[in-house]
Amino acid sequence: MSNTTATRPRGVTEAGTIKPAVLRALQNIVGERNASAERSILTTYYWNGGVGAMPGPKQGKQWPLAVVMPGSTEEVAAVVKLCVAEGIRYRAHSTGNGGSFVSLQPNVVVIDLMRMNRIVKLDAANQMAVIEPYVTAGRLQAEAMKVGLTCHIVGAGPSHSPLASATSFLGVGITGASTGHNVRNMLSLEWVSPSGDIVRIGTEGDDWFSEEGPGPGFRGIIRGLNGANGSLGIFTRIGYKLYPWAGPGQMELTHAHPQIGFRLTPKMRLFFPVWQTAEQMTEATFRINRSRVAFAVLRMPPGHIGWTLTKDNGEYIKRREKGDLPECTVMDNRFAWQILTTGVTERHAALQARTVERIVAETGGRFMTIPEQDEQVLARNLITSAYVARVFRGAGSGGTSFGVMDSFNLWPGLVRTAEDQMEKERQPGGAFVTDGREGFWAWPTESRQLWCENILASQGGTEKGIAAGWKAFFEHLYLVDRSPRFGVMAFLGGPLFDLFSSRRYGASHWMRRIKLRLDPGNHADHSMSVAPKEVPVTHAWPLIMRFLFSKWGAPVLRAILKKVARMSL
The percentage of residues in the chain with a pLDDT greater than 70, rounded to a whole number, is 91
- Orientation angle between helical segments 278-291 and 411-422, nearest 10 degrees: 140
- Out of 244, 261, 288, a domain closes at 244
Average pLDDT of the residues in 465-473: 84
Handedness of CA 311, 338, 137, 376 (dihedral sign): negative
Across the range 525-530, mean pLDDT stands at: 89
Residues 358 and 272 in one domain: yes
Give the dihedral of Cα atoms 411, 413, 418, 419; nearest 10 deg: 110
Domain containing residue 457: CATH number: 3.30.300
- Same domain as 319, residue 267: yes
4 domain-assigned = no
**In terms of domains, do 257 and 344 share one?**
yes
**pTM, two decimal places:** 0.92
For the ranges 22-31, 132-141, 163-172, 341-350, the lowest mean pLDDT is seen at 163-172
Residues 6+ apart with CB under 8 A from 57: 48, 567, 568
d(CA 184, CA 161): 16
**Distant-in-sequence, close-in-space partners of 142: CB < 8 Å, separation ≥ 6:** 250
Looking at 389, 408, 437, which one is the last position of a domain? Answer: 389
pLDDT tens digits for 1-54?
334 344 789 999 999 999 999 999 999 999 999 999 999 898 888 766 555 444
365 and 464 part of one domain: no
Q: Are residues 408 and 548 in the same domain?
A: yes
Q: Is residue 522 part of a domain?
A: no
Predicted confidence band of residue 481 (pLDDT cuts 50, 70, 90): confident
- Domain span at 67: 20-112
Say if residue 378 is in the same domain as residue 272.
yes
- pLDDT for res 182: 92
Q: Give me the pLDDT at residue 57, please.
A: 45
Residues 292, 164 share a domain? no
More confident residue, 208 or 69: 69
One domain for residues 257 and 331: yes
508 found inside a domain: no
End position of a domain, from candidates 244, 270, 293: 244
Question: Tell me: the pLDDT tens digits for 217-250?
Answer: 788 888 888 889 899 999 999 999 999 999 999 9
Average pLDDT in the chain? 88
Spell out the residues 6+ positions from residue 302 whose beta carbon is closer than 8 angstroms to its own. 328, 329, 330, 331, 333, 334, 336, 436
Res 529 pLDDT > 50: yes
Whole-angstrom CA distances from 337 to 18, 268, 272, 327, 440 are 53, 16, 6, 13, 12
Q: Is residue 12 part of a domain?
A: no
pLDDT band at 384 (very low <50, low <70, confident <90, very high): very high
> Within a domain: residue 2?
no
Q: Percentage of the chain surpassing pLDDT 90? A: 58
Mean pLDDT throughout 450-476? 84
What's the confidence (pLDDT) of residue 206?
A: 62
Q: Are residues 459 and 484 in the same domain?
A: yes
Instruction: Indicate if 431 and 553 belong to the same structural domain.
Output: yes
CATH number, position 297: 3.30.70.3450
Residues 270, 378 contacting (CB under 8 angstroms): yes
Whether 380 and 430 share a structural domain: no
Mean pLDDT across 554-564: 89
* pLDDT reported for residue 49: 56
Sort strands 108-112 and 89-93 into parallel, antiparallel or unpaired: parallel
Looking at the structure, do residues 187 and 336 belong to the same domain, yes or no? no
Spatial distance between the Cα atoms of 272 and 336, rounded to a whole number of angstroms: 7
Residue ranges of the alpha helices (H) in 2-103? 20-30, 39-46, 73-85
- Whether residue 432 is contained in a domain is answered as yes
Enter the DSSP assignment of 18.
Answer: B
What is the domain count for the chain?
4
Span 254-310, pLDDT tens digits: 998 888 999 999 999 999 999 999 999 999 999 999 999 999 999 999 999 999 999
Nearest partner of 37 among 63, 58, 61, 15, judged by Cα: 63
